[in-house]
Amino acid sequence: MQKDWIDVLVALMTPTIAIVGSFLAYQQWKINRTRLRHELYDRRMAVYSKLMNYLSAILQEASFPRDAFSEWLPASYEGFFLFDDRLHTYIERLNAKSRAFRSNCRKMKSKCGKCNEDEWKKLCDEDAQLNAWFDKQFDVAKKEFGRFLRIDT
């Protein structure tokens, strides 16, 4: 009778070890997934923060902020690997507007006092439109990046 119990326990040992091993593997997978989400959050937040610094610098300086753009540009390239295609499109549009803004600021500097009134008005109108566009990007960026930075509990 005692031998029967030992045989039953020995027979149950292998499935028990398999179940415990599977449970531990599942827990390890959950921990690694959580760690990855945390690391992705940190990297994504860094990109978002550099964008906010860049947008703030544009509005504070009312001209093209070279230093802030120099920090934003590499972060934007990193963003292509951290976000989806929809956000890639947004980042590309933002960088295109940045190049247009830089170009317009250069034109305004070089033509200051050297062009006719119509040319100057056109440059000023373009500058005002670009500044207004960048001003709206605080809300747009919050919405776009928020999809990736929201912490679900």
Q: What is the pLDDT of residues 37-60, one digit of tens each?
A: 888 999 999 999 999 999 999 989
Full-model pTM: 0.77
Tens digits of residue pLDDT in 92-147: 999 999 999 999 988 888 877 677 788 888 888 999 999 999 999 999 999 999 99
Euclidean distance between the first and the last CA atom of the chain, given in angstroms as a whole number:
53
Evaluate if residue 91 carries a pLDDT over 80. yes
Q: What is the chain's Cα-based Rg?
A: 28
Backbone angles phi, psi at 116, to 5 degrees: -75, 170
Give the contacts of 87 (CB within 8 A, at least 6 positions apart): 79, 144, 145, 147, 148
- CB 112: neighbour CB atoms within 10 A? 10
Question: Residue 144 corresponds to which tokens in the numbers above?
Answer: 């776009």
Domain limits of the chain? 43-149
